[in-house]
Structures are given as C-alpha cells and as structure tokens.
C-alpha cells in the first residue's frame, strides 16, 4: 500500500522559511516523479511543484518560483520542499503526491494527508 | 494558457446521470485527470488518460474529451458521490494546473 507522510508544517511569520518533508513507503520511490500540491483553507487545489524520478526535471508554479525549492533523496525515500520568503498567501494544507510515472509531466496518482502551513504575523 | 475552467457547482438527482466539464487550451494536447475530494479528506484519482479508472473506482465513473473540453460523467449517481471534483492537466513545461473545482450535490 502506498503511504505518503508529510511533516514540517506549522505557524511561521511572513518572510521566514520552512522545510516540508514527505516520507514514502509501499513502492519503489526512486521509480516515480513526485509533486507538492497545496490547498488554501476553503479553496481549491493548486499544484506547486514537481520533480522527476532522478531530479533531472523540475517545475514550479509561477507564484513560488525563486522562493520554493523541491528536492528528493531516493536513498531515504523522501521528498522535500524548502519554502523561503513565505507570504500570507502561502497559507495552505500542503500535500505530497506520487506520480504514475517517472516524468514531471505525468498523472498525479496517490496523495498524502497533508501538512498545514500557516503564515501569519 | 494553462488555466482550466470548471462550473463551481452541479446537482444531480439520485440515480441519474451527471456530466462535469473542464475547459482549457492544454486539453487539446493532453488528457485530463479527475480527482474526487470529500470534506476533510485527501483527493482521490477517479479517471486518467483517455478513459481509465484506477483500481477500486466504480465503473459508473467515465471520462471523455473533445477539443478543449474534458468531461467526467457519473452514470447513476449515488449519495456517496457527493464531493468536490477537480480536473488536472499538464503542459510541455511540466506544470500541472488544476481546475477550480466543481461541487457535486446529489439530491
């Protein structure tokens, strides 16, 4: 069974940083692309970033380019999202998600339960 | 443009058929995938590719596409199908825009 467990969320002031982690199990992590998707309270889903199986291809939504960095450690079955210069509008539940294939331009298949990030003074 | 547009809300009588649509330029090149999200839960993939259902998804869910419009059809809607539904696509840069979501009410 695929399991994705996010951690690292919390309350942070605007302008500060936070690092999210996602530990995967139940599949061969190194064989799949991974994504971060967020959902602001009461709002819809927003894809944030994706990374290919070997970190060779990475993409970001325009609103986080230059502030967020996605990375992965296949030896640790882990996905990360380094979030710098956080803004109030980054407040959301952040989901870690597994793709169906190796490329970033794939289909998001499985989702974790999310970790909540609140950006507030 | 990578934007995807969905109707905010749709309703269907119990046991009837409902179609949820998604429009966007990227759908001319890529199939949409569809996700069901119930309150307090993570999204679940229900349709992907031309018309594929993951294991465990009932066959009353189906997908189709024409031009810049993708559709999710539920044939014989059940009470447990009441949820938010999101379409998702991708572009050549690897971006994965979601539609704004459609809240489905089963009457």
Q: Which tens digit of pLDDT belongs to each residue from A63-77? A: 999 999 999 999 999
Q: How far is B88 from chain A (nearest CA, A)?
A: 8
* Cβ atoms A56, A103 nearer than 8 A: no
Whether chain A has a CB inside 8 Å of the CB on B100: the answer is: yes
Which of A6, A39, A45, A31 lies closest to A102, judged by CA? A31
Q: Which residues in chain A (22-81) have CB-CB distances under 8 A to chain B?
A: 35, 37, 44-47, 50, 57-59, 61
Q: What is the pLDDT of residues A39-91, one digit of tens each?
A: 999 999 999 999 999 999 999 999 999 999 999 999 999 999 999 999 999 99
**Adjacent-strand bridge partners of B31:** none
Residues 6+ away with beta carbon under 8 Å from A104: A33, A35, A50, A51, A52, A57, A58, A59, B94
Q: Which two tokens stand for residue A30?
A: 């190194």
Residue for token pair 């998604």 = B22
Give the pLDDT of residue B2. 63
């Amino acid at each position: 069974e695929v399991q994705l467990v996010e951690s690292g969320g919390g309350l942070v002031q605007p302008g500060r940083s936070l690092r999210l982690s996602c530990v995967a199990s139940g599949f061969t992590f190194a064989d799949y692309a991974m994504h971060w998707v967020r959902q602001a309270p009461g709002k819809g889903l927003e894809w944030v970033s994706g990374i290919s199986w070997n970190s060779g291809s990475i993409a970001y939504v325009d609103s986080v380019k230059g502030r967020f960095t996605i990375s992965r450690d296949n030896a640790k079955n882990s996905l990360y999202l380094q979030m710098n210069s956080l803004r109030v509008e980054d407040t959301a539940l952040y989901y870690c998600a597994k793709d169906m294939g190796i490329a970033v331009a794939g289909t998001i298949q499985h989702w974790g339960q999310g970790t909540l990030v609140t950006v507030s003074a | 443009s990578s934007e995807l547009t969905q109707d905010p809300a749709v309703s269907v009588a119990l046991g009837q058929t409902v179609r949820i649509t998604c429009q966007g330029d990227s759908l001319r090149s890529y199939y949409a995938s569809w996700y069901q999200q119930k309150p307090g839960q993570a999204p679940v993939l229900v349709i992907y590719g031309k018309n594929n259902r993951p294991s465990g998804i009932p066959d009353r869910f189906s997908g189709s596409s024409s031009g810049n419009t993708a559709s999710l059809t539920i044939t014989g809607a059940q009470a447990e199908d009441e949820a938010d539904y999101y379409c998702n696509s991708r572009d050549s840069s690897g971006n994965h825009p979601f539609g704004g979501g459609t809240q489905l009410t089963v009457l």
